[in-house]
Structure 1
Amino acid sequence: MLSEKILTTAFTRAVKHGTLTMTTAGGQKLTFGDGGMPEVAIRFTDAPAQMALCLHPELKLGELFVDGRLVIEKGSILDLLQLLLQDTRGELDELPLHRLRRIRTRMIRRSENDAHRSKRNVAHHYDLDGRLYSLFLDSDKQYSCAYFDHPDASLEEAQLAKKRHIAAKLLVDRGHSVLDIGSGWGGMGLYLAQVAGVGSVKGVTLSEEQLEVSRKRAATAGLLDRVRFELEDYRSTRDSFDRIVSVGMFEHVGLASYDEYFQTCRRLLKDDGVMLLHTIGRSGTPYPTNPWITKYIFPGGHLPVLSEVLPAVERAGLIVTDIEILRLHYAYTLQAWRERFMANREEVRKLYDERFCRMWECYLAMSESAFRWQDAVVFQLQLARRNDVVPLTRDYIAEREAVLRVAESMEFKRSA
């Protein structure tokens, strides 16, 4: 059968270390790899599933797993991804299919992430049952890459370190006004008010679920006079701000809207202001985002390389004052999320169903594998309108982090 020949060739090429056993729809067993770990056994339930995987592997791997047509009988979906990706870094870029997808990416319509579609895309993922996120995120509901500043850091410690690191780079001081673009469940904005002591925070989000939680948290913390959250597209925001922070939102902007995004940020940033953009990106060459992820998890999303981002920054009249690339930090973050998700899998099934559980297990595994064995990274770009508003050396980051640690301990004692 043609599909079996294609899969045999593909798996022979991909699996160098570890062991993959494939049972075809016809019952034939084939083994690939060097006999080592991890050991994974998969089974196809029907012949069309095999051909589907051959024709569009990046899309169909996830679909077949979620639909139960590709059954993992030994190991996990993450183990399977490890076998397929750990020894093929960069090789997939040379396949003709991928070159065609690059062409398609250049033809993205301007309207793909207009205000209406942006809100719909956000609702697809972030307006799910709030209990879902409580089952695998940290207590502050930080849904972005943590910062593991020491090897033994827990997820909670690493997420706190992320907020501290960002606040230090923002150079925030008391009295500053801050705009948080894509404010999530409010954790970053509340940290800047409670710990860093900024004068005011405005958080904007397109998620009604997150907005409700954020407002309740601000009220509980007694910060309604300094922190407000709005259901608002950043393009509609007015006023000007001393600082702008955006964490985990730029991934949803879409390639065609980069100029509009940075031009809006420049308009909203005061002349002596500082902006910190924290976003997932890629360290390779421009390439379309995984089609399964964009279809089922993050519609309208795009993971950029710096060569796609920086020209838009320059055209907007902003200055790049610092770039930091976090490499494996998100792999560790996603590992923690995946382990917590799997530990609470039965609770997730009660909220939704078995198919949803498989979809999210696949999503978390695919995402972790992208940071472990492919070229996904996190960019932290510090931007300004002038080149004299940030210190000449990076010593200030560690100095400010030390001050914020003291403020954190005082705040935690006060709240206890």
Structure 2
Amino acid sequence: MLATTLQHGLEQAGVVINGPKPWDIQVHDKRWFSRVLLDKNLGLGESYMDGWWDCDRIDEAICRLLLGGMEDRIRGGPRILWHLVPAVLCNLQSKARSRIIAERHYDLDNELFLSFLDANHQYSCAYFSSTDDLDEAQKNKLDLIARKLQLAENDHLLDIGCGWGGLASYFAATCHCRVTAVNISRQQLQHARKICAGLPVVFHDRDYREVNGVFDKVVSVGMFEHVGRRNYRTFMKTVHRCLKDDGIFLLHTIGGNASKSNCDPWINKYIFPNGMLPSQKQIGQATENLFVIEDVHNIGPHYDKTLMAWNRNFQAAWPTLSRKYDARFKRMWEYYLLSCAGAFRARDIQVWQIVMTKQGCGTRHPICR
């Protein structure tokens, strides 16, 4: 009965169990049906890690399941509800807990991340404008940000959540500005300091709430997803305090179509602990009486291509990475990259570049695009 119910739902979404299409799911263990019905997204991801099913095009399967409404159609068991409780009741991204994400994800291994990223080590959405090349697309993204910020030679830029230092290095070298960057990942900071040696870039191992100083421009790329809804206002107040009255702030973040207090349970457990995708409403409320929102640019479809490029690079690097990681890790990582690609393709999640200026300062409207 369980198998029939799930199979019927999948077929309505265009995915057939043991079917001939590349997006059809090939089930190897009959326990898969009850596991997915009980644990929904968590069970789907974990059962793939355990080898209970395969699919030639996980990205396309996930896209079809989301477009077919399967996420809402399957109720799930009490274990799923239990995963949602902490995010509702607690501040999972408090200052005391802020380093959990660094320890469990970003400090995994520089070799792992740099094996599939571009030459500028951008772990965020690229901008595939007039190119299919990942390196060029990431340069396009950096150039787009520089133009929106109107970066100039004498500017002092604050980079909140600087990753492996690629953005700071690129802007210091091409725009000839000074950069102060903060991060809480020791592995990332170690690499960032190395590649920025000799450039006017200073790195601090520091939570965003501890930032001091006043800056001409502020940028944050791919970090706001770790701030959490209870801290969105604090983040915006911090940026407001650090930005000059005539300055420009650019926020680049993944976002959700609806306001939520939790993240996908599989992503939360295995990839980004305590992650949370903001909605436009949540961002807007956090900026009230602080910022003028000058421009909102959705580049979400470009993340589909970015993730697919990352997966190709990851697969090519696997013979070397397999000396450190086992087959279950490989299945986890490819499921992460491909399922996220499918979610962006289905327009289930977005990427926003939001340009802001300080409210009440009469700052001239920046030429964003």
Question: Normalized against structure 1, the TM-score is what?
Answer: 0.82
Shift, 1:273, TM fit = 1.3
How far apart are the structure 2 equivalents of 1:175 and 1:322? 24
Distance 1:390 1:158, change over 3 A: farther
Shift, 1:282, TM fit = 2.2
Q: Does 1:149 align with 2:129?
A: yes
Shift, 1:83, TM fit = 4.4
How far apart are the structure 2 equivalents of 1:161 and 1:169? 12
1:158 corresponds to which residue?
Answer: 137
Whether contact under 8 Å (2:37, 2:76) holds in the other structure is: no
Distance 1:9 1:41, change over 3 A: closer
User: Could you list the runs of 5+ residues in structure 2 that have no partner in the other structure?
Assistant: none
Task: Report the secondary structure of 2:53's partner residue.
Answer: strand
Whether contact under 8 Å (2:252, 2:353) holds in the other structure is: yes
How far apart are the structure 1 equivalents of 2:211 and 2:261? 31
Shift, 1:175, TM fit = 1.5
Kindly, what percent of the aligned residue pairs are identical? Answer: 36
Shift, 1:255, TM fit = 1.2
2:222 corresponds to which residue?
Answer: 248
Greater mean alpha carbon deviation, residues 184-193 or residues 240-249: 184-193
Shift, 1:105, TM fit = 8.1
Q: Residues 286-297 of structure 1: matches in 2 within 5 Å?
A: 286=260, 288-297=262-271
1:26 corresponds to which residue?
Answer: none
Task: Report the secondary structure of 2:202's partner residue.
Answer: strand
Task: Report the secondary structure of 1:266's partner residue.
Answer: helix
Q: Does 1:257 align with 2:231?
A: yes
User: Could you list the runs of 5+ residues in structure 1 that have no partner in the other structure?
Assistant: 23-30, 398-416
Task: Report the secondary structure of 2:98's partner residue.
Answer: helix
Shift, 1:188, TM fit = 1.0
Task: Report the secondary structure of 1:302's partner residue.
Answer: coil
Question: Normalized against structure 2, the TM-score is what?
Answer: 0.91
Match of 2:295 among 316, 319, 322: 322
Shift, 1:13, TM fit = 2.6
How far apart are the structure 2 equivalents of 1:46 and 1:93? 23
2:312 corresponds to which residue?
Answer: 339
Q: Residues 7-406 of structure 1: matches in 2 within 5 Å?
A: 7-15=6-14, 20-22=16-18, 37-38=21-22, 40-47=24-31, 49-68=32-51, 70-72=52-54, 75-85=56-66, 87-88=67-68, 92-93=71-72, 104=85, 107-110=88-91, 112-150=92-130, 152-198=131-177, 200-219=178-197, 222-223=198-199, 226-284=200-258, 286=260, 288-315=262-289, 317-386=290-359, 388-391=362-365, 394=368, 397=369
How many residues in Structure 1 have an aligned counterpart in Structure 2?
Answer: 366
Shift, 1:104, TM fit = 4.8
Distance 1:273 1:97, change over 3 A: farther
Shift, 1:345, TM fit = 2.1
What per-residue deviation string (whole Å, max 9, x for no partner) do you get for residues 299-323 of structure 1? Answer: 11111210111101115x1221111
Runs of 4+, deviation exceeding 4 Å: 93-106, 284-287
Task: Report the secondary structure of 1:298's partner residue.
Answer: coil
Task: Report the secondary structure of 2:245's partner residue.
Answer: strand
Shift, 1:179, TM fit = 0.7
Whether contact under 8 Å (2:87, 2:261) holds in the other structure is: no
Distance 1:298 1:330, change over 3 A: same
Shift, 1:363, TM fit = 0.4
Task: Report the secondary structure of 2:41's partner residue.
Answer: helix
The structure that has the greater radius of gyration is 1
How far apart are the structure 2 equivalents of 1:259 and 1:97? 33
Distance 1:13 1:390, change over 3 A: same
Q: Which has the higher contact order (CA 8 A, sep 6+)?
A: 2
Whether contact under 8 Å (2:148, 2:366) holds in the other structure is: no
